Every structure is written in structure tokens, then in C-alpha cells.
Amino acid sequence: MQKIAVIGTGYVGLVSGTCFAEIGNRIICCDVDEVKINSLKRGVVPIYEPGLKELIDKNTAAGRLLFSSNVGEAIEASDIIYIAVGTPMSDTGEADMRYVKDVAKKIGEHLNGYKVIVNKSTVPVGTGELVRQIISNHRKYPTVHFDVVSNPEFLREGSAISDCMNMDRAVIGSTSDKAAKLIAELHAPFGTSIFQTDLESAEMIKYAANAFLATKISFINAIANICERVGADVTRVSEGMGLDSRIGGKFLQAGIGYGGSCFPKDTFALAHIADQSGYDFELLKAVIRTNDQQRLLVTDKLKQAIGSADGKRIAVLGLAFKPNTDDMRYAPSLSIIPELVELGASVRAFDPIAVESAKPLLPEEVQYFNTIEETLEGCDACIILTEWPEIVSMDLLKAKRLMKETVLIDGRNCIPQQSIQQHGFTYHSIGRRPVNVVGSGLHTANF
């Protein structure tokens, strides 16, 4: 059993700390936000992640998982210190490192024996050395030794518990074999592959992996836009591409682009790192532009289907950037809904989880409803932005009866076209032929 302090109780820190407790370690999850810590002590989890609350309750009851706002005390009581604070995107696109620096200073001030300091936050290349310098400069006892490790996270929101407990690999970067071995042993119960490398390479792996996945998404979305123009079906194209073992089918689902806490800020950060190093990363910049432009297709398709949106009642199904999370960071809804309001539409919105997270971020004119049926009532069109299971499986016959006009814009290609045609909807998706559109010639779906 290791004594571990996880500093930062955001998404990464809370999930990682809880999973480390689940495999038998003593974890103190700490944060300077006393309100958040007090809520966690009462069993109130500040984020939505399937299975997380149950796992927190289990491990707090077992005494393996503790919460504290006394960061210094947690550092002194632990042998391994995980830095899991946020690194949000700054105005220049680079990662904002103020919280990482603050934690490193705090660690130095409370370093009372040998400890391994682990960067779990997504940080620019060179942060490991920066953390080492800050800790060294603030040590009370200069003779006390420590090591720094980079152990980036690869968690997907909505399946983070499974990703952590069944991780593909653990990347461990360090200049110390002793520290790297300790962190490798910590991961042994997960039964994962260990990839050991130097600090800088480990830091780059995280950015490179996310940038590559973002590239696959923007690539297939660009292909989808061509498919629409030539009469091809991007779902079939993706399937055929994915059968090539060199390519694979993951992250080849066309839609309105990526969002969330990782891909947007990490692609910008890597582009900034490249610029600072003297390399113009044109490919990555094109990926970012493509993603920004992709979400605008929804309103273009809406105008094509109904003409002016002024005075029209539009249902928006799904607000979070993906299913099984309440995360609104860079969600397409944050761009699309304000544009609909600007066009004069009356927007009625539904999301099973993210409404309270969305309300402060969206125009006050937006109306929110508890069910899909309430949202659709009397609407001139419906736009799907998040493929929640209840949205994918909604009763199309009931939806048709409720809506004033049966226009459906599917930004996630999640509704089967066969069902759409059977129920008589006018249907537009991404990279596929529209359905039941009079006069669309080649681009009308035929079954």
C-alpha cells in the first residue's frame, strides 16, 4: 500500500485518486477549494462520471480515500505526490501553468522526506524540469531528495473509470530508475503495459496522442463534406477505411467535430509549442480550423431545410460535448445555440445531465425541458448535438406527432436513415445523402 496525495480534485485527480484507492492504496485527494472538499466529504461529487460516486462512497467507507483542503499536511503525510491541477488554455493558446507552479512551490515548502512527484496534468514539454527547479528553490531542507515523474492520463470522459481500471498503457517518464520503478509498481494491479521513457518524451506523448486523434476526427469530417458533394456515404467510407489494420475504425465517425476538456486545448497548446520551437505545424492548425468550421454545418443545413429561422421553434437535443458527461467545455452547443438565437429562433433544449452546467453558458432566452417529448412539442425542426442513448432511441412516431414540421438535423449521424425514411422526416446528417428532400436529385436517399 502506497501513501499518495493527489493535488487537484477535478476530473483527472478525482478519477485517478479514486481508482488508486480501489486497488488498495491510501489516497488523500486535496484541493484549495474548501467548498468542493466539504461537498466531497458529504458524498456530493462535483462532476458527472458513470460509476464514480459509487466508487468514491465505497473507498471512503473503507478508509482508503480521504479528502482535505490542507494541501501541505497531505504532502507531508504522503510518499507519492500527484499533481493533477488544471492547465487551461490561455489567450495565446498555450497551457496556463500557474496552478502547476503553485503546487510545485507548495511541495517544496512541505518536503519533509524523499518523495516522488508525479505530473498527471497535461503539461508542455519541459514542465518536469520546471517543477524540479521550483521545488528545489523552495525546499526548507536542501538535503531532502525527491524525483520527478511524468505519468500522463489518457481518460475518456464518460468511460474514465473503465479506462483507468483497464488502461491500455501507463506512460512513465523520469530521469530516475528508482522513481520510475516505484510508479510502475503502483500500476501493476491494473495489469497494464508499462512504457518507460524520459521526461520530455512522456510529456510529448500526451500531446501527440490527442493531436493525432483530433486529426482523425477532422480528416473524416473533411471527407464527409466531400461525400455530400459527390453522393457518397461517409459511414460506408469510414467502415471501409477502418478495415485497414493500419488505419482502424476508431475516431472515424463523422459529425460536428470534437469538444471537451482535452482535444481543443491540447491541439492549441501543441501548435503553440511548435511555434515556440520554430516549427510551423500547418497540419495541426488545419485540423483546428476544420473542427471550428464543422459545427457551423448544422445551422447551414437548418437554413437549407426550413429557410429563415426567424420566429421558428427549434428543439436542440443534447448540450454536453459527448454522452455520459456534464462537461460543457468547447461543446458544439455553445456555438450553435447562440447562433440560432441570433437568427431569431426560439430554442427549446434537452440534455439528461448537463442542463445545470449549460444554463450559465447559453443565452437566457433558451428554454429547458425535462423530456424529449416536451422539448419537441410544436417545433419546426429538431437538431441533435449529442448522441445520448435516450436521444438515439427516441420514439420517432411520437416525435412526428408532437412536432409542427418534421425536419431533423442530425449532427452526430446517430439516427438510422431507414427509420427516418419510414417515418417521413426530412432528414439532414453529416456526409450522407439527405432523406425525403423533394428535388434533391442524386442526393436523395434510396433504399
Catalytic residues: 262
206 annotated binding-site participant: yes
285 annotated binding-site participant: no
182 annotated binding-site participant: no
253 annotated binding-site participant: yes
228 annotated binding-site participant: no
Reported in sequence order, the residue ranges of 337-406 that DSSP labels E, i.e. its strands, are 346-350, 367-368, 381-384
246 annotated binding-site participant: no
B/e letters for 395-425, b = 16+ CB within 10 Å, e = fewer, are ebeebeebbebbbbbbbbbbbebeebbebeb
322 annotated binding-site participant: yes
Which of 255, 309, 356, 299 has its CA nearest to residue 47?
356
N-term to C-term CA, the chain: 60
Scanning 251-322, the segments in alpha helix (DSSP H) are 263-276, 282-294, 297-306
Residue 108 neighbours by CB under 8 Å, 6+ apart: 134, 135, 136, 137, 138, 139, 140
Exposed, middle or buried, 196 (CB in 10 Å: 0-12/13-18/19+)? middle
101 annotated binding-site participant: no
What are residue 80's phi and psi, to 5 degrees? -120, 130
| Cα atoms in the Cβ-side hemisphere of radius 13 Å centred on 289 | 6
What are residue 132's phi and psi, to 5 degrees? -60, -45
Q: How far apart are CA 224 and CA 260, in angstroms?
A: 22
Which of 331, 214, 323 has its CA nearest to residue 267?
214
| Cα atoms in the Cβ-side hemisphere of radius 13 Å centred on 125 | 16
376 annotated binding-site participant: no
Q: How far apart are CA 305 and CA 192, in angstroms?
A: 49
Phi-psi region of 382 (alpha: psi -120 to 50; beta: other; left: phi over 0): beta
Tell me whether strands 146-150 and 169-174 are parallel, antiparallel or unpaired.
antiparallel
Sheet holding 65-68, edge to edge: 65-68, 26-30, 3-7, 80-83, 115-119, 146-150, 169-174, 193-197
For Cα atoms 82, 83, 87, give the angle at the middle one, nearest 5 degrees: 155
42 annotated binding-site participant: no
122 annotated binding-site participant: yes
87 annotated binding-site participant: yes
| Cα atoms in the Cβ-side hemisphere of radius 13 Å centred on 99 | 22
329 annotated binding-site participant: yes
- Reading the block at residue 158, the C-alpha cell is 464518460
Cell match 481508482: residue?
19
255 annotated binding-site participant: yes
Binding-site entries: 31, 36, 87, 122, 154-157, 206, 251-255, 259, 265, 322, 329
State the binding site for NAD(+): 31, 36, 87, 122, 157, 265, 329
Q: Which residues are known binding-site members for substrate? A: 154-157, 206, 251-255, 259, 322
